[in-house]
Structure 1
Amino acid sequence: RNVMGKIKSFFSADDTNHLKKKGYTVLGDLGEGTYSKVKQASWVKPGDTSQVKVALKIINKKTAPKDFLEKFLPREIEVMKKLKHPNLIRLYELFQISSKLYFTLEWGGHGDLLQYIRLRGPLKDSESHKFFTEMCTGVEYMHQVGVVHRDLKCENVLLSKKNSIKIADFGFAREIGPNENSKTYCGSAAYAAPELLQGIPYKGTIADIWSLGVILYIMCCSSMPFRDANIKTLIKDQKDTLHIPSSVAGTLNSSLKDLMKKIMRFDLNSRFMMPHIKSHAWFI
């Protein structure tokens, strides 16, 4: 009853009527972003009779700041319209009711990767390999079509009903030229590449791959690779030899340890990029 009360208070009667006409029934809350709310809904597509579970991302344009509405939101819309890949969350529909903008998104039925790891602890080598391969496939496709994500983290990696990887949340994503650098500080510090933390103009593709390395470490070790209490400590840890927790050090595949160390090399020029990762012994 409380959930239904929340839903009613967020949507006006006009919103609810419009959603009903478009075939949507809002079922509950999924989460909240900086300027958005995400609801679970069922959707009967026009001309269809079967119900599909979807996520409705809703942005209230009245309360969102000008910088977000003029810069980040148009980028997110363009990126999501462009991306069509089995390992990326799909945009089905985009529409507006009064001041609210609605994204109808593919449903990630099994929650996010962080929840999954918290429930299970360090993942088996075979499962880490499957998930990491799917993530790399999705990210490589993005980079090939000229898009960088810039906020890759376990919370933004969803799992489908069949436990396939679905990369989500393109709020910081943007289209970028092959030789173009980014200057905007994006994402979470714990997953951020050293050059980004140091405020140096950075390549979005390289920053994305560093974040994939952090996610791989978390899957295998069920802990964070670096202390992130403050930026100074974080950068110091990134410079040091990658620490593997004693709880998993004895069981972790040596080839996997080698790959993680090479993806998260502090020195940009010797760091592994996607072609190196794909030809590495653990990945093949």
Structure 2
Amino acid sequence: MCGLKGEVTAGPTLPYETLGAQYVILRTIGQGSYGQVKLAHHRLTGTAVAIKVLLKERTQYYPIRTEVGILKKMNHPNIISLHQIIETEQNIFLILELADGRELFDWIEKSGHLHEGLARKIFIQIVHAMSYCHDIGIVHRDLKPDNIMVDASGKVKIVDFGLGALVTPGMKLSEHCGALRFCAPEFFLNQPYDGTKVDTWNIGVVLYFMVTGDLPFVGTTLKELGNQVLLGRYAIPRHLSKELREIIRYLLTVNPTERPTLKDIMTHPWLKQGNAGFLSHCDKIDSSHLDPAIIAAMADMGFDPCVVQKSLVDKLYNEPMATYGLLKRQAGKQDDHTSQPEPVQPGLTPFPTLTDPTSFPSYREQTTDRPAIRAFLSLSSKTDSSKDKEHGGQRLRRSATAPIMPPHCPQKRIIIFSDERVNNRRQHNSTMDSIRGAYRSWKRWTGRIGASLLQLCCCCCCCCCIPLKNNRVVPQMEA
């Protein structure tokens, strides 16, 4: 295994401290077919990963080697990716991509069942991923909702190939494994079987469970369950569409020789309806055209670029290869974030698409509010101009609040404006009344003062015996 620049460790056996030197173990997040799955993060890049801890024992060594070989062979956007393999004398540590979201089982348990459109989007990703596996000679043999991860945007990741097998065309398998209620009829007959046809049956049970919330075959004992499976005895709800009921019957064909392949399923009319889902391209690392920015960043970390390229060309699944893959994945996620909005957490219906306004009302409100905000900001910037400042505060207030008014209530602003005019008129009237009242009071006081002076003058005239009526005041020059 290649380490940092100038440090190459050869041989399959590494000390256990190598894992702790590269990754920080956080907690246990699951149990695989042959070992625990830990949540950890890569020390150099800070990327979260899943580490499957496999115990090397003679009874388990062959299936572990098979799982490692399967993971090395696959590269599909809907299948979990392998980044690195660290092997010690007692354990094999598989550093895997950490799938976003939750198990499909949890989503169905929360919502009861999925509507057909959403189930179709998830189902087509499962079919394409497993058809890819069959094309390269891989069967899963344990497909169930627990091993299918779905994130908030509806993207699928198939995990746990611990019971998987490498097959060739026409090859028959004899080991019977998997969850009993998902097992194909061949298992109950204890006969050699075609692994690809078993995966097809498992996918049919998964589809039935997605759209109904129940399993098609239920029995209190193994014999009772086996009888129902061998007879193909199950009920399909009538509210499902005709095409959906047809594809379920097609998948759950008891006779494996008549059971369709996944390529046959991909041509079914039910999968052609609407926008059946998204099929992203495989983010395969091209060892002949490496990202110079990532190589430069790894050189700053201490990696030799030649060692990095050799690790990628030879697919050594060592530390340089894992670091390059994690950095490339980080760069891809940053590009996704710049081109797309952050996925919104779903409500009662799990993982709808962001473009569905009925599923994401909060996302729709955000997009409809933005034009109003932009209009408000543009008007606010206009009110800061010198031209608007000359017209006083009343016009500034009306123009700033106008974009917030609902378009279906145009009279509200008029009513507010009319009330303002009425209030101003009332204030003006009250002011004039006050002035008139003060004027009347002043006239009354002047009248009283004049009357008092007149009375005083009368008293003086009486005292001097001068008739009041003949007394008048004349100018000085006239006298």
Both structures adopt the same fold (TM-score exceeding 0.5): yes
Q: What's 2:96 paired with?
A: 105
- Partner of residue 172 from structure 1, selected from 148, 153, 163: 163
Alignment CA distance shift 1:195-1:35 (3 Å): closer
Indicate the SS of the match to 1:270.
coil
Aligned to 1:55: 50
Alignment partner, residue 275 of structure 1: 263
Segments of structure 2 that go 5 or more residues without pairing to the other structure are 1-14, 273-479
Give the TM-score of the pair, scaled to structure 2.
Answer: 0.51
Structure 2: which amino acid aligns with 1:56?
A: I
Query: How far is the alpha carbon of 1:166 from its aligned partner?
Result: 0.7
The percentage of aligned residue pairs carrying the same residue is 28
Q: Which residue of 2 aligns with 1:82?
A: 73
Work out whether residues 182 and 205 of structure 2, in 8 Å CA contact, stay in contact via their aligned partners in 1: yes
SS in 1 for 2:50: strand
Q: How does 1:182-193 map to 2 (within 5 A)?
A: 182-193=173-184
**For the Cα contact (< 8 Å) 1:197–1:231, is it kept in 2?**
no
Cα deviation, 1:70-129, whole Å, max 9, x if unaligned, reads x21111111110011011111111102452211011111212111111111110111110
| Mapped contact 1:196–1:207 kept (Cα < 8 A) | no
Q: State the Cα deviation string for residues 161-198 of structure 1 (Å, max 9, x = none).
A: 64311111111111111011000001111111101221
Partner amino acid for 2:49?
V
Bigger proportion of residues as helix:
2
CA offset digits 1:183-221 (Å, max 9, x no partner): 000111111110122111100000001000000011001
How do 1:127-142 and structure 2 match up within 5 A? 127-142=118-133
CA distance in 2, matches of 1:210, 1:171: 19
- Aligned 8 A contact 1:189 1:228 in 2: no
Q: What amino acid maps onto 1:242 in structure 2? A: Y
Q: Distance in 1 between matches of 2:166 and 2:68?
A: 11
Pick aligned residue for 1:221 from 205, 212, 224: 212
More deviation, 128-137/92-101: 92-101
| Structure 1 residue matching 2:260: 3-state secondary structure | coil
CA deviation string 1:29-65 (max 9, x = no partner): 10123541111111145xxxx421111100232xx4x
- Supply the AA of the counterpart residue of 1:27: L
Residues 21 and 139 (structure 1 numbering): CA distance in 2 closer, same or farther, change over 3 Å?
A: same
CA contact (8 A) 2:33 2:160 kept: no
After superposition, the CA RMSD in angstroms is 1.8
SS, match of residue 78 in structure 1: helix
Is the Cα contact below 8 Å between 1:108 and 1:161 reproduced in 2?
no
Q: Structure 2 CA distance, aligned partners of 1:98 and 1:259?
A: 48
Runs of 4+ in 1 over 4 A off after TM superposition: none
Q: 1:147 aligns with which of 122, 138, 141?
A: 138
- In structure 2, distance between residues paired with 1:228 and 1:81: 38
Q: Greater strand percent: which structure?
A: 1
| Larger of the two Rg values belongs to structure | 2
Alpha-carbon contact 1:18-1:97 (below 8 Å) kept: no
Contact 1:87 1:164 in 2 (8 A): yes
What is the aligned counterpart of 1:68 among 39, 60, 65? 60
Q: Is the 8 A contact 1:107 1:160 kept in 2?
A: no
Structure 1 residue 27 displacement after superposition = 1.6
Q: Which residue of 2 aligns with 1:32?
A: 31
**Whole-angstrom distance in 1 between the partners of 2:128 and 2:32:** 26
Distance 1:21-1:132 versus aligned 2 partners, 3 A rule:
same
Measure how far apart 1:141 and its partner are: 0.3
* 240 and 36 in structure 1: CA distance in 2 versus 1, 3 angstrom threshold: closer
Number of equivalent positions: 257
